Structure 1
Amino acid sequence: MTDDPHGGLTSDEVAQRVSEGKVNILPARSGRSTGQIVRANVFTRVNVMLFILFVLVMATGQVTQGLFGTLIIANSIIGIIQELRAKRTLDRLAVVGEAHPTVIRDGLRHTISRDEVVLDDLIVVGPGDQVVVDGEVVWADYLELDESMLTGEADPEPKVMGDEVLSGAFVVSGTGYYRARKVGADAYAAQITAQAARFTLVRSELRQGIDAILKFISFILVPVGLLTIWVQFNQDDTTWREMVLRMTGALVPMVPEGLVLLTSMAFALGVIRLGRRNALVQELPAIEGLARVSVVCADKTGTLTQNAMTLGEIVQVDGADQEQIREVLSQLVAADPTPNASMQAIAGDVAPARDRWQVIGRAPFTSAKKWSGASFAGHGNWVLGAPDVLAGGAVARRAEEIGATGRRVLLLAEASAVVDAPDSPGDLSPMALLVLEQLLRPDAGETLEYFRGQDVAVKVISGDNAASVGAVTRQLGVSTEDAVDARGLPDDDTAFRAAVNGGSVFGRVTPQQKRRMVDALQSEGHAVAMTGDGVNDVLALKDADLGVAMGSGSPATRSVAQIVLLDDRFATLPHVVAEGRRVIGNIERVAKLFLTKTVYAATLALLVGVMGLPSPFLPLHMTIVGWFTIGIPAFLLSLAPNRERARPGFVRRTLAAGIPFGLIIATVSFVTYLVTRGLGDVSDALQVQASTATLAALIMTASWVLAVVSRPWFVWRLALVGFGYAFYAAIFLWEPAATFFHLDISNTAAMGAGLVAGLAGMGAVELTWWVTAMIRGDRPRVLPQRPAAANR
């Protein structure tokens, strides 16, 4: 809170507007309310289908056969808990990560939350600030706005008194005040900020893939389900209770009860885990984007180096007077109302002038021109900026030598033209080189090494001097080659793309070039993550597959990024990428399991229905099949580490595994059922024995599908598969359990047929896994390459 000569609203006027509801209230940051979350997770299509079947089973009086009904409770509870946890995490982080505008009230400046702005508030903006509500400029000092998020036009727009400003724009240079004219939902781009931290499962390649798989399943379910119902209710000498149970036993496994739940849960857990590392996920599909990243574009300042800089040395040029240099610097510090990081570093050593010269012109710093300056009545025109842009000859060479040591260099020069004139700066008289010291982030080297080990390329793209950028990156081991000066990059698109894809370190990059570089990398099939903290990074962040902003960066940068590192730790990025890979890779494994189950359940029901036979399984049989062939393993697999980079083709790979595996299980089960039971009416004892043998063949084959899908085999994955086999063996062999689950292993011939069929099914699954991998051109791995590192 500081004094300000502009009045703004009074406290009473603010209170009146609040009471009238004229406040910038936006929709809840995390989307659904608690009640909506509960309803959405309870009244799902899958839960409704299972509930109807559960009611039918309960009508038969066979309570134990309705154990599958616990899926309804489990699905709902897990879904509710995870989304509520994600909601709390996002709400907490969003308060930290959102824009905090400065308003003038009672003649004082106050920094408030975005939602506390009221109609007619006087709002102060400077470089990097985002316009949070629509308004009218009441005072401007070289104010320029980037409205590209609203209009698509990247060129900054100058704003003067009386001009309209729209929410969603951000300040490129200069300062100003604007009066809030539209707040809340009335603002032009209110939804831009309202959507910033919303927990939603919006469309993405993964979500579209899951939808495609569910449509495929629905296409199968309807005709097969109707056939199953008709066949089971037309069996002779069978009670209606047994018909209902066998119909339910055929229909329950067709329902993919856990696929959507585990997908949503994996996303929610990803949000929570990243939140614990102070990484705010502003758009949920960013989790998916993390897994696909193949190139990370990092800025130098604020990313590889710390934000804070210090003025290390003032190097005089051509015998310039040291006292005059410091006086000019003190006047420039005093004349700059919104100092950037470089000017703040200078101000840390040179105090603002007490007796200020009259300012007759100012030029705020922009990334495009690389300099700033001020013109003083009777004291000349002074500019401060990049030596390689403003000067040449010996001065530029000396600056280059200093920059090659990794330090940042600025040139102080006297200009012949007023700094805000169209032809400024004109002829220059160099006075001094200002050497700024930068500190490397202690974790930068380790982070870059991680990316190299994960087959993720790192490209450093900076607006700083190329020699300085090259020196820093060489210290970090990014590249041993000299940095490329972006001013020498070709204009031709083809040559430009070749240069960008071939280089690793670039200096003197303009904001437009950063944007072109992202496009050049994407044109070669790369998934690009762009990190940044300044206004000059906004355009590239918007175009990248994944924008990552630093929490201390400008509000505009944070608003367009999908991930915000609230504590500015570059070392968080490896955890961010690893989390994305975990989520996407594990969802693919889980999807294969659920699709396999639906395919074999539907195919088996179809074959049994065409032959006019009763369903081989009771609901209780399918319940125990789901325990350790899909349910528990899928849950554990969805949470496990996964370091493999995601690839396109999710649906194709899932179908290529799920359909053949499902058909193999269905074929093995049907053949076993037909061989052990035969056609026509049979005794109840033989029916139970045939069902037992068929269940054994199905479990053996389905468990091996789990073993194949969970590769590469870590110890815990092998233990999971082994425990499943042991558990099922105990159920079959322990008489009390066999009796409870309506199993009979006394028919040696039938059980022998079932075991042989199960072994044949396991072999067919194994062969199919290798053949389909060869067809896709994959190199399947049975064991991990680095078990010690990857299993932790």
Structure 2
Amino acid sequence: MKVHGKKTGAGGALREPTPERGLEESDVALRKAMGLVNVAVDAQSRTVKAIIHDNVFTFFNLIFVVLAVLVALVGSYRSLTFMPIVVLNTLIGIVQEVRSKRTLEKLTMLSAPTARVLRGGREQTLRAEELVLDDVVIFTAGNQICADGVVLEGEAQVNEALLTGEADEIAKGPGDQLMSGSFIVSGVCKARLVAVGADSYISRLTLEAKKSKGVGQSKMILALNRLIKAVGLIIIPIGVILFLHQWLLVGNTVEESVVGMVAALIGMIPEGLYLLASVALVISVMRLARSKVLVHEMNCIEMLARVDVLCVDKTGTITEPEMRVEGAVPLSDEGDILPLLGDFAAAQASDNITMEAVKAYFTQGQGRRPLGVTSFSAACKYSSATFEEGCYVLGAPEFVLRERFGEYQALIQSHAARGARVLVFAQYAGRADGRALTAGVRPLCLVLLRNPIRKAAAQTFGYFAQQGVQVKVISGDNPVTVSQVAMQAHIDGAENYVDASTLQTEEALCKAATRYTVFGRVTPAQKRALVRALKSAGHTVAMTGDGVNDVLALKDADCSIAMASGSDAAAQAAQLVLLDNDFARMPLVVDEGRRVVNNIERSASLFLVKNIFSFLMSFFSIVLMCTYPVGPAQISLISAFTIGAPAFLLALEPNKRRIKGTFLRNVIERAFPAGITDFILVSILMLVGRWMGIPDEMISTAATILMSVVGLLIICYIGRPMNLWRWAIVAAMVAGIALSATYFHWLFDMSRLSLHCTVLLLILCALALPVMLGLGRATQTMVDFSFRMARQFLRRCKGLGARRRKEEGR
């Protein structure tokens, strides 16, 4: 705790650590006892208790319990057949979510952010949640800052864009503050943690963000939530009206009125729809987890299904993450410069794979001690070391040579054309401070590096080409080099490249985003701008990356994927993490996204068929002063074999079709024809049946069979083209209905049909398919018109709002 700005413990003031030793074990134990631990406020998963609570205590479960009590009170126990289905749905939801929680917790432990900390003079690697107040942490390039701190020693370039929105790199030295949630771009520093856990800056932001509803939730789930809330609001008044209508106006008994009202409401409630979507997403997360893919945000699974542009970095994605130096090409006759390169490399920190490769190759130095060092800057694309005899820089030729680049362009391009990454080593006449170079340079040599192409790269990018997904290669390297590497990986349009350093305006960048395939010399801010430009052009964009220069673009992409071997910052910013660093997993990930969304859309249509019929039939019964035609037990039979079971079975099969249109529109277009077909045919059955004098119990049984036939037809309709698995599902459902109606007729209130009723039923069954197909074409036209009018209305509302704000601004 803090008292007047001074930390105190049970025995007095807490001892502050030294940069050399950090905290002692006794200091750590005292802080843990006081609760001064860096425990995250945003738990990655809910507790088992919370999962059970959220699955049991739902609005619709409450309605089902109330309906069950009403049915029991009037003694119609046979009508309680809907309750076992409700209980089963709830249990399935709990079991699947608990299994998913346990699987994800194991994977999250493996990929949890870690930190290098000094304790008792020894360096240790601990999980970020094990750090305590005043711990001395060593931060290097790629590390995400896990708690607020103050720099004790060293210097680092820090990016705070995820917190402030400003993409500029900020130099941090002794005494400067480090904010949690930012990340180290380059350099090395030691920092003492001054705020941990809920007191840290990122925790306060997280708690504030939690006040916003729907953040990070799947659009599909949000659409279902809106649909279910709308249903929840209207079924209660409809239920009251139905009961009073049948009891007071139609003249039914209290028992008959309650049973009719319950049957109508059960038909209106999409009791398994939200569960189906939730369980399908949970199963999808588990399937990805078994393939070594960690899902940070559930909504990215849906976005994966809609991706039509994939942005990738060269290093670590197209190529293996390991880099090696091929050699050095002298540019001057001043003698052996390898010892100088060796001293330069020894002075640098191993804070990126390029410098690791340089340090591993240039090992012979003369022991020069640097007066100052600047780590690699992604914005200015060089690193530097200053010795007594001068300042030396190593970086991208265009940024180091600047106006002298033309002198060496042909030589550089010749190496780049072979796929080599080219850096220039030069003496700098000015003082290098991590900002853009302005003084003159004397080129000494070219350093050639190379990354091997991933073995499965060509096959992986071939898959995306077949699926209609464009691939954009965005890299900080020379565009010629990147283009050559992309061509070796068989990326379509890889010969179409541009140097992003020539794209100085936002307009030029936006035009280039859709025109070119390969982008070289891209700064982190430009990566982000390219992702935004592609999204503005109407694309759904996925971004892969593993470095700190990818973080901003990862945050802005519709779906972000990081390699576990990359920087901490990239892994924490991404929605998906490839734990085995294998980009060849991407087709599996995209297929999984398409499978889950396609199947949920298809299965959701089955649930809405019953709801549409029940709403229309309720109003029809009220207007014609007649009893609702089917009972709760019969609705349960229809739901079990034409909705529940086939929906779950269909949701599990492979489905790689690319997603088109919005979730709600796709569902409505499929469900409306069958729902209205049910309503028309059952209405005809009721009217003609009464005219022919057919008893109500026979009409009720015939209506159940008729709705079952339409239900089986819609399974075939949405399952086109039918395959062996789908025909097997239909056959199993037919058998289930037949067995239930024959051997459990007493349970589902099924009676024998007279000859007249059977003939009428057969005629209506024969009409079902042509009526549904005709309504399908009409529905598509109607939905197109409705959505077009809705879009125009929203555009007008936005225009009026913009004009009003403009007038208020005056």
Structure 2-normalised TM-score?
0.89
Aligned equivalent of 2:631:
618
Is residue 384–residue 412 contact of structure 1 (8 Å, CA) maintained in 2? Answer: yes
Report the secondary structure of 2:349's partner residue: coil
How much has 1:388 moved relative to structure 2?
3.7
Closer, same or farther: CA 722–708 of 1 in aligned 2, 3 Å: same
The residue aligned with 1:546 is: 559
Equivalent residues in 2 for 1:640-651, closer than 5 Å: 640-651=653-664
The change in CA–CA distance for 1:389 and 1:53 in structure 2 (over 3 A counts) is same
- What's 1:765 paired with? 772
Counterpart position of 1:108: 122
Instruction: Report what 1:11 is aligned to.
Output: 25
Distance 2:707 2:495 in 1: 62
2 CA distance for matches of 1:568 and 1:193?
29
Does residue 1:588 correspond to 2:601, yes or no? yes
Equivalent position to 2:374, from 363, 367, 371: 363
State the partner residue of 2:352.
340
Q: Which residue of 2 aligns with 1:38?
A: 52
CA deviation profile, 1:174-193 (whole Å, cap 9, x unmatched): 22111111111011112678
CA contact (8 A) 1:467 1:483 kept: no
Distance (whole Å) between structure 2 residues aligned to residue 383 and residue 99 of structure 1: 32
Residue 469 of structure 1 contacts residue 483 of structure 1 at CA under 8 Å; is this kept in 2? no
In structure 2, the residue matched to 1:783 is none
Q: What is the 5 A alignment of 1:335-734?
A: 335-351=347-363, 353=365, 356-378=367-389, 380-391=390-401, 392-393=405-406, 395-420=408-433, 424=437, 426-479=439-492, 482=495, 484-487=497-500, 489-678=502-691, 686-732=695-741, 734=742
Q: Aligned pair count?
A: 763
- Which secondary structure does the structure 2 equivalent of 1:189 belong to? helix
Q: State the Cα distance separating 1:350 from its structure 2 match.
A: 2.9
Aligned to 2:339: 327
Change (3 A) 1:507 1:217: same
| Counterpart-to-counterpart distance in 1, 2:720 and 2:216 | 30
Contact 2:136-2:190 at 8 Å conserved across structures:
yes
Deviation at 1:123, TM superposition (A): 1.1
Question: Which range is displaced more, 289-298 or 385-394?
Answer: 385-394
The Cα shift of 1:419 comes to 2.9
Letter matched to residue 618 of structure 1: G
- Retained in 1: the 8 A contact 2:42–2:206? no
1:92 to 106, 115, 128: 106
Which 10-residue stretch deviates more, 686-695 or 238-247? 238-247
Q: Deviations over 1:422-446 (max 9, x none)?
A: 7847332222222223111111111
Q: What is the aligned partner in structure 2 of residue 130 from structure 1?
A: 144
Match of 1:258 in 2: 272
How far the C-alpha of 1:605 sits from its partner, in A, is 2.4
The answer to whether the aligner puts 1:20 opposite 2:34 as a matched pair is: yes
Q: CA deviation at 1:96?
A: 2.4
Give 2:68's aligned residue.
54
Shift of 1:299: 0.3
Question: Using the alignment, how far apart are the partners of 1:85 and 1:542 within structure 2?
Answer: 29
Amino acid at match of 1:375: T
TM-score if structure 1 supplies the norm length?
A: 0.91
**Structure 2, unaligned stretches of length 5 or more?**
1-17, 786-810
Distance (whole Å) between structure 2 residues aligned to residue 599 and residue 424 of structure 1 = 68
SS in 2 for 1:7: coil
The question of whether the paired residues in 2 share the 8 Å contact of 1:51 and 1:72 is answered with: no
| In 1: Cα distance, 2:304 partner to 2:527 partner | 20
Match of 1:744 among 743, 751, 760: 751
Residues 348-407 of structure 1 deviation map (CA, whole Å, 9 limit, x = unaligned): 233364x631211222111222211211124x3222122343333453322221111112
One-letter amino acid of the structure 2 residue matched with residue 95 of structure 1 = M
* Structure 1 gap ranges (5+): 779-792
Q: 1:5 to 1:695 in 2, by over 3 A?
A: closer
Q: Residue deviations 1:588-617, cap 9 Å, x none?
A: 222222222111012212222332323322
Which one is further off, 68-77 or 686-695? 686-695
Instruction: Tell me the secondary structure at the aligned position of residue 583 of structure 2.
Output: coil
Q: CA deviation at 1:464?
A: 0.9
Which residue identity does 2:733 align to in structure 1?
Answer: G
Matched, 1:755 2:766: no
1:258: Cα distance to partner?
A: 0.3
Residue type at the aligned position of 1:306: E
Deviation at 1:122, TM superposition (A): 0.8
* TM-align CA RMSD: 2.7
Contact 2:548–2:567 (8 Å) recurs in 1: yes
Q: Secondary structure at the match of 1:458?
A: strand
Q: Which moved more, 1:456-465 or 1:311-320?
A: 311-320
Mapped partners of 2:281, 2:209: distance in 1: 17
Q: 1:61 to 1:165 in 2, by over 3 A?
A: same
Output the amino acid matched with 2:573.
V
**Alpha carbons 2:159, 2:184 under 8 Å: kept:** yes
Give the Å deviation of 1:27: 3.4
Aligned partners of 2:374 and 2:434 also within 8 Å: no
How far apart are residue 777 of structure 1 and its match? 7.6
Say whether the 8 Å CA contact 1:291–1:580 is kept in structure 2: yes
CA contact (8 A) 2:380 2:434 kept: no
User: Using the alignment, how far apart are the partners of 2:412 and 2:208 within structure 1?
Assistant: 45
Distance in 2 separating the partners of 1:741 and 1:639: 29
Letter of the 1:676 counterpart: G
State the secondary structure of the residue aligned to 1:399.
helix
Q: Give CA-to-partner distance per residue, 1:8-49, whole Å, 9 cap, x none.
A: 111111111111111111236333211111111111112221
Map residues 87-236 of structure 1 onto 2, 5 A cutoff: 87-141=101-155, 143-190=156-203, 202-234=216-248
Aligned sequence identity (%): 35
- In 2, distance between residues paired with 1:492 and 1:37? 50
The answer as to whether partners of 1:212 and 1:651 remain within 8 angstroms in 2 is no
Using the TM superposition, give the Cα deviation of residue 158 of structure 1 relative to its aligned residue in structure 2, in angstroms: 1.7
2:10 alignment counterpart? none
User: Is the partner of 2:326 in helix, strand or coil?
Assistant: strand
Q: CA deviation at 1:233?
A: 3.1
Give the deviation of 1:773 after TM superposition.
4.2
Asked if 2 retains the 8 angstrom alpha-carbon contact of 1:25 and 1:184, the reply is yes
* Shift in CA distance, 264/480, structure 1 to aligned 2, threshold 3 Å: closer
8 Å contact kept, 2:383–2:434: no
Amino acid at match of 1:541: L
Tell me by how many angstroms 1:544 deviates: 1.2
Q: Indicate the SS of the match to 1:39.
A: helix
Q: Distance in 1 between matches of 2:32 and 2:513?
A: 52
Is the 2:19–2:190 Cα contact (8 Å) retained in structure 1?
no
SS in 2 for 1:411: strand
Alpha-carbon spacing, 1:352–1:340, altered in 2? closer, same or farther (3 Å) = farther
Contact 1:168 1:192 in 2 (8 A): no
1:630, distance to aligned residue in structure 2 (A):
0.4
